[in-house]
Structure 1
Amino acid sequence: MDSAGDALFRPVRTGNAFEETVERLLQAIKLGVVPPGERLPAERDLATRLNVSRVTLREALHALQESGFVESRRGRYGGTFVCTAPPDTVPAMASHVDNLEDALTLRAVLETGAAEFAAARELTEHECAHLRARLAECEVAGLGEYRRKDSRLHLAIAEISGSPSLTAAVADVRMRLNELLDGIPLLPKNIEHSNRQHAALVDAVLTGDAPAARRAMAEHLDGTASLLRGFLG
């Protein structure tokens, strides 16, 4: 493996290990570090380089296999190979990819601030119940409705920040992000992880821990950003 491979297969951070592992593998594939038809490094070696568990690595590889980027081959010369024909992209996304980093930056500024201010306020019983209801909807949402329920939860946090202008801005940037998210697959492992992060975020807001709410939101957004950069970058 050359120096580019060493750079891409560096240790990931722990907060969003699955999402960052997917991002790193996609970068290696898209940048040609592992060319089409070639085999990825052995699982043990790759897990060590990325500093993730074999379970996390296998989950990431499974997600990429389901998405059509890699395939598994059995036998003496088996392993995980990059597909010779990449999966089809969504044509409508092409005009939006250039705006990815701008949208991610704006979202990070707006939504971390919204979470912090929501936690800093003394919430009414109605606001608390509203937030819990939106969280519950996310936790039981199926794949077909998850992004809509997820959007509603994030908007609910903005709403209870007490700033209609901030809520409108979060809604605008969420529309931009949803156009980008529609261009990548829904990964069940990411949804499971997102729901755990949502629960920690809502708990921080409801207990009035503003710094923890800001940190939880930032970590949650980082996971989504990793997937978007990996699939669309």
Structure 2
Amino acid sequence: MAFSSNPLALSVPESAFESWLRDSGYLEIVDQRTSDLHRLSASATDAAEATTSTDSGGATVSGGYIFWPIVSNIGTLLSLFTLNPFAKLNAEDFSGETPSWTCGFVGSFDSYSFPSSPSQARLRVHENVKRYARNYASLFVLFFVCSLYRLPLALVGLVLSLALWDAFKFCGNRWGLDRYPAIRQSLVRIAQCASAVILFFSNVQMALFCALGASYAVMISHASCRKLAPAKQPAGGARRR
């Protein structure tokens, strides 16, 4: 049975429809569509290759076809080191509520998949860094505390630096240094130099570097593999962009 065409039907190009989804804030649908299209393309390629192999009497699959998915995944992985994950991050992303660590941040096993292309990886990283900015900041603090625990000298140096500034504030209020701005400014410079020397010789920069490296690796891995979840619906039914 043949169906007649509907003159009222609306047909738009795929690129225009995806642009509308992005502008409307339906990024999770864009992410899912990208994964589905990649899976369908891979299935079609497998079917075509199987047909070619059958027609040729069971010939061996070419080495280029075997290694192409591996090369594609390596290219996607390398693209993560070239993008700026903080490109769309702003101060307002740290002022909201912290997303749930279980359902929101971690999610289920089905909430993760390797990005199918560099564009999908970029989309996930930029959006997830905005959504889970407070979670990533908490992880950085946790890694920094663990680094200080592993480097007790750095912990002692940090405590001494904080104690130095607390003593400076106490003495400034006691002696009324606000009335002598030149002397106060000179003492501030001396305290800054003393703090820098203490932090340097106590190896606090190594603890900071370890915390930054670990938190950045976790952030990139999680943000690129975490599927985009639907954005929360604010009051009034408006969708957050």
> For the superposition of Structure 1 and Structure 2, which TM-score range results when normalised by the shorter chain?
under 0.3
TM-score normalised to the size of structure 1? 0.23
TM-score normalised to the size of structure 2? 0.23
